[in-house]
Each structure stands twice: as structure tokens, then as C-alpha cells.
Structure 1
């Protein structure tokens, strides 16, 4: 387990709640972090002139099945789960690029099911699969990867990356809980 500070070179951002997104992504970009993003998040970043790579460009595979399959891809999860000190050869062999920070918040399932007259179809479409998978992958690899699921953590993450050239193990561990 790596317990040293991890430099943040690449972040994957896929958020339903876009509160604070622009300021956070702009801050990451200004710190030289490459941003990969999905669907509506990607569009929001582009609208605000924040450089980002669309997930389908990153994976070489299109979003499919009406957006149900976006991030469920070996290049994404390999980039998150890979142990930098022991999986580098396999990563290089399969063109897997490390993802050092995962920024995800989930579809608003609780709010959706409480809406009057909500359809079963809408409820089903608000069951997030990719988001929890990325969160779990990042949490499993806290030795190398940071995870942000709470917009209230954005500022402190930016400050730590700026001041320490990365995220400490203590911070990565706290964020994964």
C-alpha cells in the first residue's frame, strides 16, 4: 500500500450535481490536471471553456444504450484500480492511463422516487451503475487514487494539491470513507 503523497495528473469527473463543478474543474485545470469527463459534465465544462477529454474519446468506445454504458470500461477501471508500483507493465501493454482523482456524485435516486407520479422507467433510469463502480474502484485503491463525492470537499482538495503537489494518504483515506 502506497502511503505517500500522490501527484494528481489526471482526473475523471462525472457528476449529477454540478454545484461547484466549474470552480473545481477550473482549479484542477490551472494546476495542470488533465480532465476526462462524461455526458452533461463534459458539456458543462466545454461551455465554460475548461479543457476536457470526453470519456468516449478516452476509451475509444462510444457511450451506448442511451447513456447506460459510459464508464464501465477496462481503460477506466484499470486506470483507477491499477497499482502504480506493480501494474505498470500491464497498464502499458493495454494502453491504460492512470486516473489519479475520481470526482463523482450519483444520480438523485432518493429525490426521484419521492416525486409524485414518477414512472417506473424514470426510477429505473435513476439507478446509477457507473458512478458507484468508480467510487468503489477509487476507494479500493486509496494507495494511489483520491475520490471526491462531496462538493464540500472540492476546495480543500484543490488547496492540498496546490500546496503539496498532490494528495496525502491521510486525505485519500478520509475521502474514501
Structure 2
């Protein structure tokens, strides 16, 4: 039996959303159901957070999503924190709370995925042949591969 899973990568102003159908057989590629971005509305950030929270909850409920994987926060290398980093963390918290109110939600660090695959996530993301083997179905934008990697990396794990 397959499982409906969503990978989310949050930045200061948007959320990359990759919705998938994950087959129980790990030899069968993950099917892409949808690949999109949810944009934070301009204007008052608090109001925008409320809108994205509602959008996330509604989508996950309507699509009967069973598990959500969110990319964990990470400090930028070699630079101090900037406002966009803090705003991204705020929005990530909003999205994590929204997802957790609907289904099982797990936050995953890139370093954890890299250790499991014994290669850097960024190398996997660039590798077209890796993606040819891992996914099928709908279109997966190259910019959304990081969100899809969250789902792919958790196949067979509870």
C-alpha cells in the first residue's frame, strides 16, 4: 500500500511543496503528485503567516496527507545571521505547527540525509540520473528536488 507524503522547504518568503505518493515497495519510484510554491502574501507578515497556516492545514487535510517532512533550520556558513534567516525560521515554525496539527510531521537536517546516503545532499540534488531512478509521474522542478529529497530519504522509515 502506498503512503501520501509531502516535503516542505521553507524560506523567508515562500514554501516549496512537493506532494508525493510513496509506494510500499522501495524498488518502485516515488510518484510526484504536485510541485509548487506557496508564497507569503505581501504586507503584514503576521497576517501572511495566518494565511499560509490555513493554506497548509487545508491542503494537507483535503489531500489526506499522512506524513510531512520539513527541512530543518541551518546556519549559513561563514556569515552572521541576517533578518531573512530569522524570518525564515518564523515561517518554518508556522508551517511546522500547521502540518503537525494534521498529520505526522518530522523535521530533517540535510546533514542527517547526507550521512544516510554517504554523499552530500547537494550532490544528490544535482544528479539527474539519481532523480530518474527515484521519481516518476508529475513534473519535479530542479529547484524542488531538495523538498523531494526529504521524502525520498525517509522511505521505509517510521
What TM-score do the two structures reach when normalised by structure 1? 0.39
More strand by share: 2
What TM-score do the two structures reach when normalised by structure 2? 0.42
